[in-house]
A and B are shown apart, each in its own frame.
Chain A
């Protein structure tokens, strides 16, 4: 598939999960394809990074479910920040572990999972729909009943995949991409390179299973400007540019082209100008 093929299957108003973490291995080519499409009014579920920033700047988010949004080397995501300060979308702000249990619940087709995080904090105040659950055993403890974060579609980016949808990560951290795929009705994997099988690979690196994947996109440099180690690290100068350039100017120069290829060549010419 192409990024355009993936986005053609998405609809306005959908709940979309986005894999990776912060500014790490985000399916940025798929997010850029979303930006080129008219799809909007999204509920986005993400350990937020520039994926959230780009969609927020373009006004595509109706509701965000996240424990944070960060660019990692730049702690505050500027477009997420601006959108929040403008009251531009609804937010379900939860703790990192609550978020993880919400993914697990969805992947396991459970309505919730209990988690010892959230009670006592203002996560409960700002999310009045959150409920607690009491242990039926002798301890009688009370926990947050973290609701399943079920999604219509998940977008993730991996280092390698085969055409069937088996996906492999080669960096130090799988993040939660397998859970995103299992928590979604349909899941799309973009990858640096499509391979014809994995041969004598380390089996533990085969993170995503084809039964949980709807479509595969080969998109080299498709996580740019986030990191996708060991294929490449974060493009720090470009991320700095993203964070410091007014949105219309950035969007005009890098995101107004017809496809991913035009983005990649715009980035390349910018880098050449910097030399």
Chain B
């Protein structure tokens, strides 16, 4: 075995952390937004989650070779969301301690300082199917005490809105370039699941504008297996596009 001498890049730990989001999900649509989540979803499908469905980013469900296996235009995609057989990993311009996410705008909604995408499908996603998040640059600008506009619904907001908001609401994980986080605490506040090797506790603390639990004795994100590394480097992302999203 030569694995111990192989250097694993930060982007590759991120790929593994994203792929793990879809472990044991069964026959659901994996909807990755962003390059590294996309590599992660394909890795999961090629290895431990072979039943996942993937799209071409438009209207077709595709196999690993890119060949269509089914049709999923936007109107059916939106129905699939409400049916719950989907796990999306969205981006987040802001995310707070209870998982509220913002992709709409920065500042006052009436006349924003920076208009972003709009809420898009974040409200329907978060109330209907598992939603994880991917943040390629972990900073206090993203991990904020309070988001400017709640696009994706967090645990406290869902609870305040009542049972029909909480019924199918779940945020399995947040993956950033520094580590993996979840909300498996009594009050559903964010906690550290693992740091990527090379990341320090202080680094995460300084880049997060709220208190995180689990920082005392953090675990580390697992290394990819030799086969996973081969798939990432030679099959799924041979042009190293992942290094553009997260510096090696």
Do A and B make up one complex?
yes
Chain A residues with CB under 8 Å of chain B are 21, 48, 66-70, 75-76, 80-81, 84-87, 93-98, 100, 115-123, 125-126, 141-143, 171-176
| Residue in A48, A94, A96, A121 whose CB lies within 8 Å of B78 | A96
Q: Could you name 14 residue pairs across A and B whose Cβ atoms are closer than 8 Å?
A: A85-B113, A87-B111, A95-B119, A95-B123, A100-B78, A116-B164, A117-B123, A120-B157, A122-B150, A171-B59, A172-B58, A173-B58, A175-B73, A175-B74
Does A97 lie within 8 Å of B78, measured CB to CB?
A: yes
A residues within 8 A CB of B104?
93, 122
A93 to B123, CA, bound (A): 11
Distance in Å from the Cβ of B105 to the closest Cβ of chain A? 7
Does B127 lie within 8 Å of A117, measured CB to CB?
A: yes
Given the interface pairs A122-B150, A173-B58, A173-B59, the reply to whether A117 lies near B128 with Cβ below 8 Å is yes
In the complex, what residue of chain A is closest to B106 when comparing beta carbons?
Answer: A85
Per-position binary interface string of chain B over residues 73-88, scored 1 when its CB falls under 8 Å from any chain A CB and 0 otherwise? 1110010011000000
B residues within 8 A CB of A98?
123-124
Given the interface pairs A68-B117, A121-B153, the reply to whether A141 lies near B164 with Cβ below 8 Å is yes
Given the interface pairs A121-B150, A141-B167, the reply to whether A67 lies near B59 with Cβ below 8 Å is no
Given the interface pairs A84-B105, A97-B78, A173-B58, the reply to whether A142 lies near B119 with Cβ below 8 Å is no
Chain B residues with CB under 8 Å of chain A are 58-60, 71, 73-75, 78, 81-82, 104-105, 109-124, 126-128, 149-153, 157-158, 160-165, 167-169
A12 to B73, CA, bound (A): 34
Does A93 lie within 8 Å of B82, measured CB to CB?
A: no
A87 to B112, CA, bound (A): 8
Given the interface pairs A96-B121, A172-B58, the reply to whether A87 lies near B158 with Cβ below 8 Å is no
Does B118 lie within 8 Å of A93, measured CB to CB?
A: yes
Interface hub of B60, B75, B126, B158 (most chain A Cβ within 10 A): B75
B residues within 8 A CB of A117?
82, 123-124, 127-128
Does B162 lie within 8 Å of A119, measured CB to CB?
A: yes
A98 to B78, CA, bound (A): 10
Does A66 lie within 8 Å of B124, measured CB to CB?
A: no
A70 to B115, CA, bound (A): 11
Other A-B pairs beyond A70-B117, A123-B123, 8, CB < 8 Å: A21-B74, A95-B124, A96-B78, A116-B168, A118-B123, A121-B152, A173-B58, A174-B75
A residues within 8 A CB of B168?
116
Does B165 lie within 8 Å of A68, measured CB to CB?
A: no
A116 to B162, CA, bound (A): 12
A171 to B110, CA, bound (A): 37
Does A84 lie within 8 Å of B162, measured CB to CB?
A: no
Does A141 lie within 8 Å of B163, measured CB to CB?
A: yes
Distance in Å from the Cβ of B132 to the closest Cβ of chain A? 17
Does A120 lie within 8 Å of B150, measured CB to CB?
A: yes
Distance in Å from the Cβ of B165 to the closest Cβ of chain A? 4
Does A97 lie within 8 Å of B121, measured CB to CB?
A: yes
Closest 7 CB pairs of A and B: A117-B124, A68-B118, A120-B161, A87-B111, A172-B59, A97-B124, A141-B164
In the complex, what residue of chain A is closest to B102 when comparing beta carbons?
Answer: A122
Distance in Å from the Cβ of B195 to the closest Cβ of chain A? 29
Does B120 lie within 8 Å of A97, measured CB to CB?
A: no
Distance in Å from the Cβ of A105 to the closest Cβ of chain B? 15
A96 to B162, CA, bound (A): 22
In the complex, what residue of chain A is closest to B81 when comparing beta carbons?
Answer: A97
A residues within 8 A CB of B114?
85
A117 to B131, CA, bound (A): 14
A125 to B169, CA, bound (A): 20
Does A126 lie within 8 Å of B164, measured CB to CB?
A: no
A residues within 8 A CB of B59?
171-173
Distance in Å from the Cβ of B134 to the closest Cβ of chain A? 15
Does A119 lie within 8 Å of B111, measured CB to CB?
A: no
Does A120 lie within 8 Å of B117, measured CB to CB?
A: no
In the complex, what residue of chain A is closest to B166 when comparing beta carbons?
Answer: A120
Given the interface pairs A85-B114, A141-B167, A173-B74, the reply to whether A116 lies near B119 with Cβ below 8 Å is no
